[in-house]
Amino acid sequence: MEIFFYAQILLHLLGGGVGFLFNPRGAHASRATHGIAVLASLAGVVFSGNILLTGHGWFHEWRGSLPVGPLSLSADPFSALFILIISLLSLAASVFAIGYVREYQGRKNIASLGLFYHAFILAMLLVVTVQNAFYFLLFWELMSLASYFLVIFEHEKQEARSAGTLYLVMTHIGTAFIGTAFWLLFMHSGSYEFQAFRESAAALPLGLKNVIFFAALIGFGTKAGVIPLHVWLPRAHPQAPSHVSALMSGVMIKMAIYGLWIFLFSFLGEGPGWWGPVVLGVAILSTFGGVLYALMENDLKKLLAFSSIENIGIVLLGIGMALVFSSADQPLYKGFALIAALYHVINHAMFKGLLFLGAGSVLSTTHTGNIENLGGLIRTMPWTAAGFLVGAVAISALPPLNGFVSEWLIFISLLLGFESAEVTFHFFSPLLAALLGLAGALVATCFVKAFGISFLGQPRSHHAAESRESGMSMLLGMGILAATCLGLALGAPWVFRILGETVETSSGGFFSMEVFVQKIFFLSPSGFEAGRFSPLIIALVITVLLLGIVLLLRLFFGKASIRTGPSWDCGMPGLAPRMQYTSTGFSQPFRRILSFLYQPTRRVELEDEGMKILRTAQRFESRITQHVDEWVYQPLIELVGRLSRKVKYIQTGHIQLYLSYIFVTLILLLLFFGGRA
């Protein structure tokens, strides 16, 4: 089956350049480059699906003359799962892009968009299959650079340029830490090969392990967007074309989870007991910080970007609990937590991709992502509204969709900490579970706002009033992901078994799936009865209840009882768009209750004719404080600025001084290396 992987790689290489054979700004370039992306993604689905179903991996090695070692690619079930995630989401995004990119035709170079789009997907595929640290960093950098050019695709906008610059700086800071972690492993093992890292893990000194742990956590945490390393994410993701935003939020930040996973459970071996609480601290900070800032956001794509931070926090909750159970020598609980975390990785990719495609559909027809200017779209864009609603229900962890299954499993893994050998977790475990439940309630509130204000009510702008449904390709792309969200929920026990085999290959553990799953029921490994549930039965019960309610209403009241009339307007002449809840108004109670956290600033401007009763205009502006920006990054920027102003004095413009710098440097190098010789 490796022929399908080779086909996927070759198709992405071909698709990156095929657009230049046509008019780079025309429709043919778009159809060709995204059509080939669809074929490449289908090949990836077949390849990865075969490995996951059969359990048989694949390995190939190309030996060359480079001293870093051979270029070796491998796809075990763990890598295959990430290939499947990349391929599924890129399949839907590419189908969506065929219609979405039409708005760029004639004014933007679509061929260059296709080039970076294919390079981005190709780099992610190679990141999860390469088995050498040097090539991993090479493809990681290709992924970062390709996504940078996608972020600044609309470079005529100042927001895109500034977001791209910030992203480039932050991603290279993260890469520096990742490179440091790999370098330390190389210094200890004497090789860049991943297999050498695994074999030497048991002999790693504890102090060196801790340094590598923090370097990996900071490096991959920067790419994942964990707080406080998240500042680039809510700025960069919204600036990219929407199908690219779906890949960045749905897949790219999961490359960081992949990298952190192989470090924690493969390269470093057993770690000290405090690693788990550190990861859990980062997780809970990201979970709450992400959802609280998403709740205040009025831009649809920024709201989705902040919620990605929250979901990365949820994944890290599972990973953190796995580290806790590992240090307490409880492999069964560790396996359950890892499967739950991995389940949420794939679930988040699907429903977040769906939400970004839905936001792109809205953006393409209304030309605004500001929720305050939307409303009433459910009447003009019913299929887009339905797709966005599926994504909103899934991300809110409501049954019967996939988000509910994985978050419930992580909830159970948190409660398992009550039975941990670590006594301190007897208190913290229920607290973490309660905090996850609270975060889930806030997420549901956030997406009630996002869907309700955007799609319900009356149009708040001319663009919203004249919106129309998106084309077939865009709806098909959303439909693929909506169906996947439902399938991942209804087939949850079967998916869980596959993920269990995947976790066994990636963490070195072994456990019987019968402890976790029996037929269509999930079981808590502790025997806790409340952990027993079936997503399929829950879906059937909800369906039967809804159909029963409809049937009873028709039976008792009949068709004659259904009467359409005007909405109740309190005796006023008629409801107007200005009478509806706004996005800001909806979130105002939270802004007030949590004012100690948000620290909002308000500005009110009034205009009148010299008398207050003859007021002609009123403008209101409110902002919340971004504490990480003010407390961490702004002082850091000022420090770098001061140091740069001091250092610039050595740049005088005189060639004689520059030659003296070179001369002094050569003398110091000769003294240093001469002494060593």
| Confidence band of 608 (pLDDT split at 50, 70, 90) | low
Give dist(CA 303, CA 234) in Å, integer.
Answer: 8
Higher pLDDT, 141 or 630: 141
3-state secondary structure of 621: strand
- Vertex 256, ends 144 and 112: CA angle to 5°? 25
Q: Quote the CA–CA distance of 479 and 481 in Å, as a whole number.
A: 5
Lowest mean pLDDT among 482-491, 501-510, 609-618: 609-618
User: What pLDDT shows up at residue 675?
Assistant: 55
pLDDT at position 659, please?
A: 82
Whether the pLDDT of residue 676 is over 60: the answer is: no
Amino acid code (one letter) for 41: S
pLDDT in tens, 275-309: 999 999 999 999 999 999 999 898 999 999 999 99
The 3-state DSSP class for residue 605 equals strand
What is the residue-wise DSSP string for 624-672? Answer: ---HHIIIIIHHHHHHHHHHHHHHGGG--S-HHHHHHHHHHHHHHHHHH
Confidence band of 369 (pLDDT split at 50, 70, 90): confident
3-state secondary structure of 619: strand
| 395 secondary structure, DSSP code | H
17-32 pLDDT tens trace = 898 988 888 888 889 9
Q: Confidence class of residue 672 from pLDDT cuts 50, 70 and 90?
A: confident
What is residue 63's DSSP assignment?
A: -
Cβ neighbours of 668 (radius 10 Å): 10
Q: Which of 97-111, 362-376, 419-433, 566-580 has the lowest mean pLDDT?
A: 566-580
Q: Comparing 36-50, 71-85, 87-101, 602-616, which segment has the lowest mean pLDDT?
A: 602-616
pLDDT at 340 over 70: yes
- What are 362's two structure tokens? 């809205």
Cis peptide before 589 (omega within 30 of 0): no
d(CA 306, CA 302): 6
Structure tokens of 410?
Answer: 């992580």
Q: What is the DSSP letter of 239?
A: G
Around Cβ 157, how many Cβ atoms within 10 Å?
12
pTM for the full predicted model: 0.91
For 198-212, what is each residue's pLDDT tens digit?
988 888 999 999 999
- Determine the angle formed by the axes of helices 402-416 and 382-395, rounding to 10 degrees: 10
Q: What is the pLDDT of residue 560?
A: 57
Residue 170 near residue 222 (C-beta atoms within 8 A): yes
Place of tokens 């299929």: 383
Confidence of residue 50 (pLDDT cuts 50, 70, 90): very high
521 pLDDT above the threshold of 90 = no
Reply yes or no on whether the pLDDT at 614 is more than 70. no
Q: Is the pLDDT of residue 617 over 70?
A: no
- The alpha carbon of residue 98 and the mean position of all alpha carbons in its chain are separated, in whole angstroms, by 23
For residue 182, the model assigns a pLDDT of: 95
Residue of higher predicted confidence among 632 and 485: 485
Q: How confident is the model at residue 355 (pLDDT cuts 50, 70, 90)?
A: very high
Cα–Cα dist 509/488, whole Å: 24
Q: Give the amino acid at 456.
A: L
Instruction: Report whether 542 contacts 400 (CB < 8 A).
Output: yes
Instruction: Give tens-digit pLDDT for 648-663.
Output: 777 767 777 788 888 8
Q: What is the pLDDT of residues 620-644, one digit of tens each?
A: 666 777 777 777 778 887 888 888 8
Residue 486 confidence (pLDDT): 94
Tokens coding 451: 């869907």
- Whether residue 439 has pLDDT greater than 70: yes
Task: Identify the pLDDT of residue 483.
Answer: 95
pLDDT at res. 509? 67
Rounded percentage of the chain residues whose pLDDT exceeds 90: 52
What is the per-residue pLDDT for 619? 66
- Mean pLDDT score across all residues of the chain: 87
Higher pLDDT, residue 594 or 529: 594
pLDDT range class, residue 645, cuts 50, 70, 90: confident
- Cα–Cα nearest to 242, from 443, 395, 459, 89: 89
Which residues are within 8 A (CB) of 309 and not within 5 positions of it... i.e. 6 or more apart?
A: 225, 226, 227, 230, 233, 234, 286, 289, 290, 293
**Of 394, 401, 486, 386, nearest in space to 440 by CA:** 394
When pLDDT is averaged across residues 212-220 and rounded to a whole number, the result is 95
The predicted pLDDT at position 559 comes to 60
Instruction: Name the strand (E) or helix (H) holding 18.
Output: helix 2-18
Would you place residue 69 in the very low, low, confident or very high pLDDT band (cuts 50, 70, 90)? confident
Residue 573 is classified by DSSP as: S
Is 296 in contact with 587 (CB distance < 8 Å)? yes
pLDDT at 67: 78
Predicted confidence at residue 42, as pLDDT, reads 96
Give me the percent of the chain exceeding a pLDDT of 70. 92
Helical (H) or strand (E) element with 393: helix 382-395
What is the predicted pLDDT for the residue at 33? 93
For residue 31, give every residue at least 6 positions away whose Cβ sits within 8 Å of its Cβ, in sequence order, or none. 98
**pLDDT, position 429:** 85
Q: For residue 631, what pLDDT is reported?
A: 77
Measure the CA angle with vertex 617, ends 612 and 620; round to 5°. 105
- The band of 669, judged by pLDDT with boundaries at 50, 70 and 90, is confident
pLDDT attached to residue 421: 63
**Nearest Cα residue to 361 out of 120, 15, 92:** 92
